Amino acid sequence: MSNGTQTPRRGALAKSESRQALGFVSPALAGLALFTFVPVALSIVMGFFDWPTVGEKTFVGFDNYVKLFTDSPDFWPALRNTFVFALLYVPISVALSYLLALSLHSRIRGRGALRVLFFIPVVTPMVANVLVWKMLLQPQGLVNGLSQTWFGIELPNFLADPQWAMIMVVMMSVWQGLGYNMLIFSAALEQLPESVVEAARIDGATGIRMLWKITVPLTSPSIFFASIMTMISAMQVFVQPQMLTGGGPGNSTQPIVQFIYNQGFKFQDLGLAAAAAWILFAIIIAMTAAQFGAQKKWVHYEH
C-alpha cells in the first residue's frame, strides 16, 4: 500500500526534475544546434556546390570530390602527409607515455611534481612551444650550435629539409602530447586490482612478464581509449605543421586540415574545402570503427 502511494510521488518528482534538467540543458542544446548541427549540415550541402565566399553558388554534384581526387595537386600529398604523421605519431606517443606512466608509477619521491612537469607542455600554448622548438632547431639554433661546438658536426637544416621536417613535426607533437596520455595511463595504473597483482606476484611474475601478462591487459581499456583519441587528433593535426614548418618545404608537411584551411580561407573555395573535410571525416570514422572492431581481440574489460 505504501509503495502504491509513493510511486506516483516519485513520478511527479521525476517529471519536475526532468523539466528542470531540460531547462538547464537547453542553452547547451542551443549551442549544439548553432555550433555543431547547423555547420555540419551546411558543410554537407557546401561540398556539392561551387561555393565562393561571395558570389553565386552553383550546384556541381560530386565535382568537388572528383576534382580533389583527380585534379588537385596538393590533395594526395596532404592525405599522404596526414597518414605518415599519424602512423609515426600515434604508436610513439602512446608507447612513450605508457612507459613514462610506468616509470612514475613506482613509489619514487616527487612523482607528483614530475607528472606536473611532464604535463606542462600540454597546457602551454602551442605558439610558445613552437617558438621554443624553432629556436632549438634552426641552423643558428641551440641543437646545431651544440653539435658544432662539441662534435664539430653541422646538422641538417631540420625544418627546411623535406625528410627531416616531418620527423621534427612528429617529435614536437609527441613532446607536446606526452603528458595527456601519461595522466590517463597513470590513473589506470593506480587502479590496478591489488588482488590480481598480488596473486601474480605470488605466482612468481616479475619484470617484463608481469608487465606483458598482467599490467598491459588490465590497463588495455585505457590504452584503447588513448589510441583512439590520439589517432583522431593525429588525423586532425594542423597547428604544429602550420606554425613549425608552414606545411613546407614545398608541401612535404602540409596535412589535410591545412589543405582544407587553405582552400577555404586563403583561396575562398568553400565547396572544395567542405568536400575535403568530409573525406577526412569518412577516413576518421572508418579508422575508428576498425579500431573498435579490433578491440574485441585485445582489450580486456573486467565485468
Partner 1 sequence: MKKMHIAAALTASAALVLTGCSAGGADAGSAGGDKIVVDMWAGSQDDTAALEAQVAIAQKANPDLKIELRTAPWGDFFTKLTTNMASGNMACVTGMNSGMLSSYTAGFAKLTDEDLATAGIVKDEFADGAMEILSNKGDAYGVPFDMATMLTYYNADMLGETGAPVPADGWTFDDFEATAKAATTDKHAGFGIGMGGFQWQALPIAKAGVQPVKQDGTLDLTNPAFVDAATWYGELVTKEKVAQPVSSASDTGWGENQYSSGMAAMAVDGTWNAVGYLDNDPGFTAGMAPLPAGPNGSLGLVLGSGFGIAQDCDNKEAALKVLGSLLSVESQDYIASSGRSYPARVSSQPLYFESLPAEYRDQVQSAFESAFSNVQGQYVTDNWSKIDTFIQPQLVSVYNGQESMANVLKTAQSQFGK
Which is closer to partner 1, CB of 66 or CB of 120? 66
Residue showing cell 629539409: 161
Please answer whether residues 244 and 10 qualify as being in contact, where contact means their C-beta atoms are separated by less than 8 angstroms. Answer: no
Could you say which of 73, 112, 207, 293 contacts partner 1 (CB under 8 A)?
Answer: 73
> Does the CA dihedral 19-25-27-31 come out positive or negative?
negative
Please answer whether residues 126 and 237 qualify as being in contact, where contact means their C-beta atoms are separated by less than 8 angstroms. Answer: no
> Rule CB under 8 A: is residue 22 a binding residue for partner 1?
yes
Which span (76-84, 172-180, 219-227, 242-250) binds partner 1, by CB under 8 A?
242-250
Please answer whether residues 229 and 249 qualify as being in contact, where contact means their C-beta atoms are separated by less than 8 angstroms. Answer: no
Please answer whether residues 166 and 253 qualify as being in contact, where contact means their C-beta atoms are separated by less than 8 angstroms. Answer: yes
Which is closer to partner 1, CB of 239 or CB of 284? 239
Could you say which of 64, 82, 97, 245 contacts partner 1 (CB under 8 A)?
Answer: 245
Please answer whether residues 126 and 240 qualify as being in contact, where contact means their C-beta atoms are separated by less than 8 angstroms. Answer: yes
Q: Which residue type occupies 40?
A: V
Give residues 122-151 in contact with partner 1 (rule: CB under 8 A): 134, 137-141
Give residues 253-292 in contact with partner 1 (rule: CB under 8 A): 254, 262, 264-268, 270
Which is closer to partner 1, CB of 63 or CB of 161? 161
CA distance linking residue 111 with residue 256, whole number of Å:
38
- Rounded least distance, CB 151 to partner 1, Å: 19
Which is closer to partner 1, CB of 110 or CB of 250? 250
Please answer whether residues 43 and 277 qualify as being in contact, where contact means their C-beta atoms are separated by less than 8 angstroms. Answer: yes
Positions in the binding site for partner 1 (CB under 8 A) = 15, 18-19, 22, 25-27, 29-34, 38, 52-55, 73, 134, 137-141, 157, 159-162, 165, 242-251, 254, 262, 264-268, 270
